[in-house]
Amino acid sequence: MRKFSQTLGVVANSIEVKFRFDKFNLVDFVMFAQPPHQKGFIMKLNKTWSVLLCFLTFGLAGCSGERPDNLGVVNGQLAACPDSPNCVSTYATDAEHSIDPLVFTGEVAEAQARILSILEGMERITLITDEPGYVHVEARSRTFRFVDDVEFYFDQEAQLIHFRSASRLGHSDMGVNRNRMQEISEAYQE
C-alpha cells in the first residue's frame, strides 16, 4: 500500500508554519520562527496542540466574516433578523429579537448627529456608512474580534430611529447585541 504525504506551508509575520499530512491525517506540525534572541528556532508540536494551533491560527483569522449583502434600507426597512438569537431589530415582532425604536423630534440630521456622537464614544466601533437617514457601523468584540453589523435608519415621517444589530458569525452572542443597543438607547435618551 502506497503512502500519500503532503506538506502545506504558510508564512506569516516571519513565522513559517508547515503541516505534514499522511493519508489525510495530521502527522506533524512544525513551526519555524525567528524570535529576536534565536535565529532559526524550531518548534514541533504533538497532534493535540497542532490541531489547537491550527484552529487558533486559521480559524480565528476569519472571525470578521464577509460583510452581508442584505445591509441597508430596502422599502423603508432594515433586513429581518435570522432565526439565530444573535440579532436584535426594531422591526422584529418576536420577543427574542425585538427591541423598541428610539423616538426623535426635529430633523433627521440632528438625531443622526447625536447617534454618531454616541458611537464615536464607544470602543471598537468602525464607521462604514454615513448617509442622510442611514448609518452602518461595525462593532468588534474585544478578545476574538468577531464583527457585528449595526445599522440605524432614521424615519422622518414616523419620527423614529429604527436599528438592527446582528452578528456575522456564530449562533449565540450571549446577549452582546441587545446589551449594546440598550446602552446606545440609554445614552440617546439622556
The CATH number covering residue 137 comes to 3.30.310.80
Do both 104 and 50 map to the same domain? no
Element (H, E) at 118: helix 108-120
Per-residue pLDDT of the chain (190 residues; tens, 9 = 90+): 444 444 444 444 445 555 554 544 444 555 455 555 554 444 555 555 555 554 554 444 445 678 888 899 999 999 999 999 999 999 999 999 999 999 999 999 999 999 999 999 999 999 999 999 999 999 998 888 899 999 999 999 999 999 999 999 888 878 899 999 999 999 999 8
Residue 142: how many other CB atoms lie within 10 Å: 8
C-alpha cell at 111: 438625531
pTM: 0.67
C-alpha cell at 18: 508547515
Sheet bearing 15-22, strands edge to edge: 5-12, 15-22, 25-33, 41-45
Total domain count for the chain? Answer: 2
Q: Is residue 159 part of a domain?
A: yes
Do both 109 and 183 map to the same domain? yes
Q: Which pLDDT does position 49 carry in this prediction? A: 55
Q: 109: domain range?
A: 87-189
Q: Which pLDDT does position 144 carry in this prediction? A: 81
- Any idea what the Cα angle at residue 67 is, between residues 65 and 73, rounded to 5°? 150
Do both 106 and 163 map to the same domain? yes
Strands (E), the chain: 5-12, 15-22, 25-33, 41-45, 87-89, 102-103, 125-131, 134-140, 147-155, 160-167
Q: Which pLDDT does position 47 carry in this prediction? A: 55
Alpha carbon distances (Å) from 190 to 104, 114, 184, 186: 12, 11, 10, 6
Q: How far apart are CA 141 and CA 181, in angstroms?
A: 14
Q: Is residue 143 part of a domain?
A: yes
Q: Is residue 81 part of a domain?
A: no
Backbone angles phi, psi at 10, to 5 degrees: -135, 140
Do both 147 and 97 map to the same domain? yes
Nearest Cα to 63, choosing from 138, 129, 11, 120?
Answer: 138
Q: How far apart are CA 54 and CA 50, in angstroms?
A: 6
